[in-house]
């Protein structure tokens, strides 16, 4: 074998190893995924990698494609373009029953005429005879799952005898009964009140850490996504704007859309030049060199602070004050034609409507104007 041929062989072998390692490190992969309804694109050339054992939240405005993406992964919808891979294997045309996907819906979708135990066992009992576990194994599996979801002794009850939170736990147990490769949750707590949601969020995180299932869940609740998920994928118009850790999404938004969508941000129209940013009639100096020309500055309440003698502090007029837990949320006007911004102040800081506060920016996010 010549030196060039040997080198090409080694390079090809290394490439194959790298590709195999990448596929092993990805539980679900969407490549150029597309789905249209009546000529309108619900999913538009979407790419996404989901890691094994990861809890990934899909977050975005209504109509951004979150639930459609989940249904494509489950096989409940057929894509009009692109493909879906499970562990490196093309699953695009694989039937729903063969994907080994557990799906939990917002409205539980429990069978009202079946007991809790029968609901959980349903996916096992309807398997073809050659794949169906023995009845004793099914009963054992149901008992294990009732313990796992903290509902031991509830097997003989019916859905109507359960609270909303208990029904959702049963729905999750039913999804886990078939030993899915992937667990998909579509607004799993959307029908529950705030207090129950908070309790179930903690429980779901603990359950995920115990079972290690690769899990995707759709939510419109930003707090829920940021609290629960290992990573968050922000969708907009059928595409992924950014996928990253909660810290990445909050502190290092990749696009103006992400900066404006997450975290109660206000967008201020500004002009940037070098180390200066002009906001209305005021200018502030920054450490970094900025984009030149019209720009959008995104700021959240915790990004503002009271100035401590800075020469470029902005005098802001208080337009409203309200209590938010352990702090006060103070609405400020920076100037004519600018949207109001908010700052959080301690409860012992006396402030009233009409007061003028000197403020400056602790941090902000700046993007070229769209």
pLDDT in tens, 215-260: 999 998 999 999 999 999 999 999 999 999 999 999 999 999 999 9
In terms of domains, do 358 and 252 share one? no
Domain co-membership, 124 together with 163: yes
Residue 215 pLDDT: 95
Using the predicted structure, report yes or no on whether residue 24 has a pLDDT greater than 60. Answer: no
Q: In the structure encoding, which two tokens stand for residue 227, read together?
A: 């609290």
> Based on the domain organization, do 232 and 274 belong to the same domain?
no
Domain membership of residue 3 (yes or no) is no
Q: Quickly state the pLDDT bin for 25 (edges 50, 70, 90).
A: low
Q: Does residue 6 have a pLDDT over 70? A: no
**Mean pLDDT, residues 113-121 taken together:** 95
State which of 229, 259, 289 marks the end of a domain.
259
Task: Looking at the structure, tell me whether residues 176 and 317 fall in a common domain.
Answer: no
Residues near 153 by Cβ (< 8 Å), separated by ≥ 6? 146
β-strand partners of 294: 271
Q: Is the pLDDT of residue 17 over 70?
A: no
Assess if residue 163 is contained within a domain: yes
Strands laid side by side in the 55-59 sheet? 101-104, 182-186, 214-219, 55-59, 231-236, 239-244
Q: State mean pLDDT over 275-302.
A: 88
Which pLDDT tens digit goes with each residue over 61-103?
Answer: 999 999 999 999 999 999 999 999 999 899 999 998 888 899 9
Q: Which of 204, 237, 259 is the last residue of a domain?
A: 259
**Residue 203 above 70 pLDDT?**
yes
* Residue 277: CATH number of its domain: 2.40.50.140
Residues 90 and 235 in one domain: yes
Element (H, E) at 224: helix 222-228
Structural domain includes residue 126: yes
354 and 218 assigned to the same domain: no
| DSSP state letter for 356 | E
**Nearest Cα to 362, choosing from 300, 315, 318?**
300
Tracing tokens 């002794």 back to the chain, one arrives at: 153
Residues 201 and 346 in one domain: no
Residue 155 falls in which region: left (phi positive, over 0), alpha (psi -120 to 50) or beta: alpha
- In total, how many domains does the chain have? 2
Q: Which of 23, 60, 56, 58 is nearest to 208 (CA)?
A: 56
Are 81 and 158 found together in one domain?
A: yes
Residue 9 lies in a domain: no
- Mean pLDDT, the chain, rounded, equals 89
Percent of the chain topping pLDDT 90 = 67
Q: Considering the domain boundaries, does residue 7 fall inside one?
A: no
Question: Is the model's pLDDT at 23 over the cut of 60?
Answer: no
Do 225 and 87 share a structural domain?
A: yes
Q: Please provide residue 115's backbone torsions phi and psi, each rounded to the nearest 5 degrees.
A: -70, 170
Q: Determine, yes or no, domain membership for 121.
A: yes
CATH number at residue 176: 3.40.50.300
Contact 48, 240 (CB under 8 A): yes
Tell me the three state secondary structure of residue 192.
coil
Among residues 237, 259, 281, which one ends one of the domains?
259
Percent of the chain with pLDDT over 70: 93
CA torsion angle for 280, 282, 286, 292 (degrees, to 10)? 40
Decide if 73 is inside a domain. yes
**pTM (2 d.p.):** 0.85
Q: What is the mean pLDDT of residues 150-172?
A: 93
Write out the two tokens for 219: 């939510």
- What band does 9 get if pLDDT is binned at 50, 70 and 90? very low
**Domain containing 92: what range?**
27-259
Q: Are residues 33 and 167 in the same domain?
A: yes
Same domain for 328 and 253?
Answer: no
Say how many CA atoms lie within 13 Å of 253 toward its Cβ: 22
Q: Say yes or no: 142 and 251 in one domain.
A: yes
pLDDT band at 324 (very low <50, low <70, confident <90, very high): confident
In a domain, 15, yes or no: no
**2-6, 298-302, 357-361 — which is least confidently predicted?**
2-6
Encode burial over 18-45: b for 16+ CB neighbours within 10 A, e otherwise.
Answer: eeeeeeeebbbbbbebbbeeeeebbbbe
pLDDT tens-digit profile of 347-362?
989 999 999 999 999 9
């Amino acid at each position: 074998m010549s030196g060039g041929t040997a080198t090409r062989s080694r390079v090809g072998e290394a490439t194959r190893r790298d590709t195999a390692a990448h596929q092993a490190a990805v539980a679900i992969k969407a490549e150029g995924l597309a789905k249209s309804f009546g000529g309108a694109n619900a999913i538009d050339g979407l790419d996404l990698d989901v890691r094994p054992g990861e809890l990934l939240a899909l977050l975005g405005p209504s109509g951004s494609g979150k639930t459609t993406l989940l249904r494509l992964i489950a096989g409940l919808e057929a894509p009009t373009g692109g493909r879906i891979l499970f562990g490196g294997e093309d699953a695009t045309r694989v039937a729903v029953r063969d994907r080994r996907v557990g799906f939990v819906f917002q409205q539980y979708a429990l069978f009202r005429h079946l007991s809790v135990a029968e609901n959980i066992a349903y996916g096992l009992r309807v398997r073809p005879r050659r794949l169906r576990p023995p009845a004793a194994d099914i009963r054992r599996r149901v008992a294990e799952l009732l313990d796992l979801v903290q509902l031991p002794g509830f097997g003989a009850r019916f859905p109507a005898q359960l609270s909303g939170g208990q029904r959702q736990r049963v729905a999750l147990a039913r999804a886990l009964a078939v030993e899915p490769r992937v667990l998909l949750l579509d607004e799993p707590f959307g029908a529950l009140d705030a207090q129950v949601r908070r309790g179930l969020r903690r429980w779901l995180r603990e359950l995920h850490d115990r079972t290690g299932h690769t899990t995707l869940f759709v939510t419109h609740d930003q707090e829920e996504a940021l609290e629960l998920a290992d990573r968050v994928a922000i969708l907009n118009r059928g595409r992924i704007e950014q996928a990253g850790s909660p810290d990445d999404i909050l502190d290092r938004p990749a696009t103006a859309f992400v900066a404006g969508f997450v975290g109660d941000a206000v967008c201020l129209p500004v002009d940037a030049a070098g180390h200066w940013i002009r906001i209305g009639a005021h200018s502030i100096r920054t450490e970094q060199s900025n984009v030149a020309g019209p720009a959008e500055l995104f700021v959240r309440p915790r990004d503002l602070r009271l100035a401590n003698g800075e020469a470029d502090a902005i005098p802001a007029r208080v337009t409203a004050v309200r209590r938010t837990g352990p702090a006060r949320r103070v609405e400020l006007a920076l100037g004519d034609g600018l949207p109001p911004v908010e700052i959080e102040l301690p409860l012992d800081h006396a402030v009233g409507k009409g007061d003028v506060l000197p403020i400056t920016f602790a941090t902000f996010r700046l993007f070229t104007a769209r």
